[in-house]
Amino acid sequence: MAKGQRLHVLRRAKLRQSWNKYNLYNLWKLKDPKIGSYDAETFFQQKWRAKGMLRAYHGEHMKERDWSRMFNRRLLSVADMDPRYMAEHDGSEKAAGRGSGKDKPPNWNAVEVKPNKITPYMNMAFAPMERRLDIAIFRAMFASSARQARQFVIHGAVKVNGKKMPFPAYKLNPGDMFQVEPEKVLYATGRPKKVSGGPTKTPSSQEAVEEEGADTEEAAPAEEGESTEPAATEAAEDAGNVDRKAITRLVKQAKHVLETEKMGVAKKRAVRSFIKQARKIQADTKSDASPIDVARRLNEMMSELKLNEAAAEPTDAEDTAAAAEGQGKKAKPAALDLLTSDELKTLAQKMKEEQDNPYDPEKPYATPWRPKDFMSPFAFIPQYLEVDHKICSAVYLRHPVARQGFAEVPTPFGYGINQLAYTWYLRRR
């Protein structure tokens, strides 16, 4: 494909194997093309249109002659049979006359006539394409497009059965395990960095920018000598919003404790010191300080005040002396006044998340890591793959098959279009 050629257009839309937002819009507005519903087109033209639509989605990044060599006339399918029935019979009556019109017609006099579920064999026309390594990586959600998966393979980020595989056209066999570098997967499926400043691109220019092997939504990592401070500052502000709100809530609660509760001098000093330290930390969240340092300082301050469940019992010397002398009621511990048990659990969970998913300006994707905005409509795994996203590896269990009512090859087009495309490739030229 020529450099600068558009892959995702809105006027004459062609569906692609990509998570691009324009492609998602094209999928949403997809309508039945009604090929063959009128006599204006010949049978050759119908097959040509159907073949073009399906090839734009299934492996448009590979040459037509390569796909023609991969095409297979045999369509794998599975017949659903009752095991109890098969134990009593040999199954020959099931296979006799299959597809020859000898099926029993439905009882039209019945109150409810159940429609016969067909087996969509023709939807398996592009089943050999699912064996390709780059397509399998895209199906396993390790890349945001088939072109990006091809790029990962060529750059040496993919292993098959423990060995580096630089060929994206490698055909997987049942039982093969492929792995992708976790950093590549995080870059492909995570949100891109926000680059502040510079001219703003219009949607039309974004469509024309995408080149082979890259997705339009993903921001490339900064080159050597290029500044990443604006993106790092915005990411730090986004990461510190939650902690800033929590600190503000703590300060308000501490002020309320000072105004309403009766406590000794040492208690008041401790609460005032807590407010002062909290304001310093809150000021650091607005500056260039890393959220990791802010969370660490907040954690140290909490540990000094003993903000946990064990702090319910008084440990202060002043409270012990006051109880011994009988001067008034025993003051409540400052920990319980400042935070409830639910707030303590929430704060501990947020700190743990900050440690597991920290902010790192050197990463080529936005940190802390979050999934892409337009990932959910494409989040499905075919049944012929066993995927473990924790270690970024998957196993190609078997070849995809067709069953009664559905086929395992993911495609946005209906049975009729797949049938016309399959008929086109059956012709030997």
Which of 157, 150, 155 is CA-nearest to residue 178?
157
Taking CA atoms, 402 is separated from 24, 53, 124, 225, 372, in Å, by 26, 21, 7, 53, 31
Contact (Cβ atoms closer than 8 angstroms) between residue 146 and residue 135: yes
Rounded to the nearest 5 percent, the helix, strand and coil shares of the chain are 45, 5, 45
Who contacts 276 (Cβ-Cβ below 8 Å, separation ≥6)? none
Q: Using the predicted structure, report yes or no on whether residue 231 has a pLDDT greater than 90.
A: no
What's residue 201's pLDDT? 47
Q: Torsions phi, psi of 164, nearest 5?
A: -65, 130
Residue 314 clears pLDDT 50, i.e. is over it: no
For the segment 359-387, the average pLDDT, to the nearest whole number, is 88
Mean pLDDT of 277-286: 68
Instruction: Give the C-alpha separation, 333 to 311, whole Å.
Output: 7
d(CA 243, CA 296): 12
Question: What value, to the nearest 5°, has the Cα angle with vertex 364 and ends 194 and 20?
Answer: 65
Residue type, 315: T
Determine contact, residues 172/70, Cβ cutoff 8 Å. no
Per DSSP, the residues of 105-141 read PP-TTSSS-PPPPP--GGGGTTGGGGGBHHHHHHHTT
Please give the pLDDT value at position 183: 93
CATH homologous superfamily for the domain 21-78+117-190+383-427:
RNA-binding S4 domain (3.10.290.10)
User: Which residue has better confidence, 36 or 415?
Assistant: 415
Residue 296 burial by CB count (10 A; 0-12/13-18/19+): exposed, middle or buried? middle
Domain boundaries along the sequence of the chain: 21-78+117-190+383-427, 242-289
pLDDT digits (tens, 9 = 90+) for 208-226: 334 434 443 443 444 444 4
- Give helix 182-189 / helix 146-154 axis angle, nearest 10°: 150
pTM over 0.75: no
Long-range pairs for 195-202 at CB < 8 Å and ≥24 separation? 195/219, 195/230, 195/231, 196/230, 196/231, 196/233, 196/234, 197/230
DSSP calls for 221-237: PPPTT---HHHHHHHHH
pLDDT interval class at 309 (50, 70, 90) = very low
Report residue 203 as tokens.
């949607």
- Closest residue by Cα to residue 72 from 425, 415, 428, 401: 425
Residue 254's closest CA among 297, 302, 296?
302
Per-residue burial over 133-167, b if 16 or more Cβ lie within 10 Å, else e, is bbbbbbbbbbbbbbbbbbbbbeeebbebeeeebee
Contact 425, 52 (CB under 8 A): no
Q: pLDDT per residue over 388-397, tens digit each?
A: 999 999 999 9
Q: Which two tokens stand for residue 143?
A: 């890349």
Rounded-to-integer distance, Cα 343 and Cα 154, Å: 49
* pLDDT the model gives residue 329: 44
Average pLDDT taken over every residue of the chain: 76
Query: Does the pLDDT value for residue 387 go beyond 90?
Result: yes
Residue 179 has pLDDT above 80, yes or no: yes
Residue 278: predicted pLDDT: 75
Q: What angle do CA 29, 34, 38 make, to 5 degrees?
A: 150
Q: What is the mean pLDDT of residues 369-388?
A: 90
In tens, the pLDDT along 98-131 reads 555 566 777 788 888 877 778 888 999 999 999 9
| 338, pLDDT greater than 80 | no
366 contacts 239 by C-beta, under 8 angstroms: no
